[in-house]
Structure 1
């Protein structure tokens, strides 16, 4: 771009510079005086408002303290006066007399109603309430013991007691005043009155700012903010906390919690600043009125924002006044400057027109180059839907020239004939004011007849004055992406079809493999039954038929469990004794097969019975399958010097139950051991290659592991590891049926 030539400097002389310096100094002095005036006005207004707030708080504190003291001392006479009545002394001397109790209850009820107090009651020297004004209510004080209350202990010591706390029976707070009942110079009981403080505290809730009362320990027990009640304003020593909890002064479950504010004394009397905790917490002016006769402190507050508001108002007024003065002083300078500026304006205007014209030409050329290089199509329409602009990418996308598209109204020539309704609906929706900034997929028809898949992103077109003049759309060609997605979908469909075929084949192979063992047993038992029937041996024949029925049921059970397992349904888990499972596997097939091959079978039991949570039938099938594999491996192998043997070992190790199947066969060559558990891998000509793979899947579905390794001295070891169930939480002694803990 061509840079604008600098404007010629205006001629300046010494007199003009001197006048400018004087004007600058005058303006600076005037601004300093105005700032000083604004600051002084704010400080004066703040101090005046603060003094007024302190005066208001002082008067409010005196009024509230007088009202609080009046409510607190109104019934001081009542316990002492009641204690002088002969009926009260007679009740304490004859506590078991029902007639005296009834008379005392009626007397206390009448006195309480006449005086207007909350409760009036009499306690014996142990703190047990003998009579009460609320004797006929569900929350009667009668037979309640208040021996742990300080007001009872003070009166029992011969003094007047005063105590504010939460009622043990009703759960409602109040002020308790007590007096001793003296007979012949000896304290024989206590009379107490409960006074509710709500008449003085309820109006506080209507006040704009918080009001609260703390006791001599700094605990808030009365106030207009319920969430502050019974919280501490200062740390409490542990003995004092224990004493308060023993007295149950603020409820049964009371624990000390700090109030959500901080009280900071101010430099000038008479009050402090109360600031709520947290970021942006409010601040209050707090005035404390001591009540030494009650041991309480009344605190009244006022929002400190009132002081800040007064300062801000003063600043605003002072700023307005100062602004008027400054504006008046500057007005005459503006007139002089305007004359000089008008002279320079004509020169600068001509120069700016030339620079602006050149800049517009440069910007237009740059914008045109940028639009031509875009791969994203751009289309602009007016409010009626007429195309007013398209870039080169849009023209290449649909095969039409810009002059063929500009000025067109819907329907546009590139609309796909099979989706005209969709195009009309989208166009009407956008022209109605509902654009698609998130994108809208459309299929267009190229001029050569091919389909073009696009994404339209439409937003409002705004002119330089902010007026809505049409709609601008960005068009992205996604034809290649759509075709790639269609090809991917076709590949996924073919893959799913192949997976279904494989799954059906695996299930059929699994059923054939697992049913081979029960069916072999069925054939053997049927042959034995036929021979026994020919010989007329009814007893053995019945046993053979029963065993044959058992194997048939077992085959049905295997079919059902394998179906659930293939469908990934949860198997039936139950506590199983590993010794019983191994013995059942031997009885079903292994011992007979080993006897037929002349191979001895040895079982090594664990020191204690082992129990696991497993599917009994599937676990037996795994043991049978591993045992048959071991027998088949030894059948084709030359016997070692010690002879062949099939050994089944049950043990516990590291919180797991182990079942090991050991043989003296050829062992596991390295190339075969790595692929041993792969599906359809087998070293036998008549094998399917699914047995070990299915066994491992069954064991892993029970949370265990199936491992294989070579045995020392020749042969192989197949090891089943299953987790032991957790032991009972608090058994009297170790349960030997479970695996031992890791040592």
Structure 2
């Protein structure tokens, strides 16, 4: 009886062990299910956070591009908070930590809201603000438990303006709402889902009670709470999602099924034990075989590298899908083939056959070798082959395994890079500018082109000389430069690269040349911060500029002389009147003195009139002499009224000769201008003289022979200016003349030189002004022409005030 009893006990022990084993497997499956569901929930929460982050980054990009103001931001913030319940508040904080705009959900407490205009509160929010400013990347933070915002998750999205920090967009999420709306309902129904902080403290959700101490050492006897937790990306370890499975069974020992199975097992043990063992072992072997086959097939299909197996005679025994894709031949067409293989190019078959023979003899190359492979359609591609021996379970070699990688694209890129480098080097060597690159704080010369080597040699002396003379700092200096510390600590290399290039013109006595020096910072190929200096020889340009300036000055003087030459007859007529009056006064006084018919009072009156006529003639001559006198440009604060008066006095002589009426209007309280008054008078005289000539050429009647000069204040693009305009009643300008109006040596007058208007525009533009010309129409008929120019008001002058109140003459 002991033998059957022992057999029964052993059978029951086996049944108990089997149930325990199955229970452990069930627990593992449950644990895998918890892990899978938690990772699914984490992905849903992550996608929800990334969607909100992308929307906030889009708002930040629009703010950086000046496309969104505070009102537009409030509208978007309100729409997002209403649409997404987990989003509690949106705030716009500028670079001074001041809240520019903020919108919060109605459920947010008042003490947790950011009021526009207030400065960011100190604490963790301020530290995260500083981190976002330093990294220029979105930063997540979860306030500590002691703060009012412990139940919120904050996202700082930085604002950038041309690489500079401009503040952040602060988004605040409700962790409880994030759990409620982010975790799928099927997951929250199966598990107790909770969100924890980095220290394991519960932020939202629920937990299940810890199992009893007895169940801790007998895991299969009572159900346990399977749990799994994973950090929520992109927040990181500061926010963890955890799920705990609810208890759904009473365990193995408390289940009646266990006793029923035990009883039935005891009754049928002698009949089923052999069959059960056999079936169990066969299923295990079948599962292992299926798993191994699926794993091998998935690995083969996922590889981009072609695999080929050869036996010891060189016959193909296996190819994977990637190999067939590369060559274009199917597995059925390749397996069983012997050399020469169909993917060998005809011109390389002899070479490939020799290499295959070397491989079959074990003479393989560790780094592989490069070959050309022919596809089924006849095209070729470059490939690299690696070979390794195939060894069976008994340690015997049964063949060779070859891996093939398509390297056509890497080869093409390598050739393009090499060609690009050669072109780049050729261009730099052929430049007519010196180019040099040197690291900051070092005398090593990283690069120098041909012209630099001709000028300065192969050391950094010329580079440093250009940097020093151009006034560009070659390296930062610190108060700790005497200590053994890094002087570049905290140097913002990224912002230095974004700085615009410096520019300076210097004269190098050693070369006897004027050089234009441009420099900028860059990151060298080895990561070091370097400075590039580009030096161009501008000696010829400087000489040309000096000659052009001298020629322009002579041209201005010549223009004034030509103008006065054209006005010579009018000037002579103007001088003839006071001179004739002086002659008449003198002859009359001589006759009356000889006849003793003049009294002392009459004599004094006649002499006073004679003196006034002589003074008038002298003023005319002095005005002409001042106008045509050649002098250096002398810009000074000049009174507009005085300049207009002197120009009108000169031009009126010509206008009276041509029987043209002149009226001028000067606004009251005009500011003084920083100009050369003689040059501005020259422009006005030329424009008035041209207006009179246009009226005479049009043969207008006396009633329509008029020229109007107006001087009024104006604003151009927000800048205060003084506008001078000359309006005539002539025949206007033809379209072909308008196109070439300011072209040098172009004139519509037979005796004209064509330099008047060209010089006038040059004078105006040298005073940072602009000159315009347009026809005046009366219906479809041209009724005259309007020339105008404006001069910007100097910052040191008086403000323009009041309405126009001038004097019309």
Q: Aligning the two structures, in what range does the TM-score lie when normalised by the shorter sequence?
A: 0.3 to 0.5
TM-score for both structures, normalised by structure 2: 0.31
Larger Rg: 1
TM-score for both structures, normalised by structure 1: 0.33
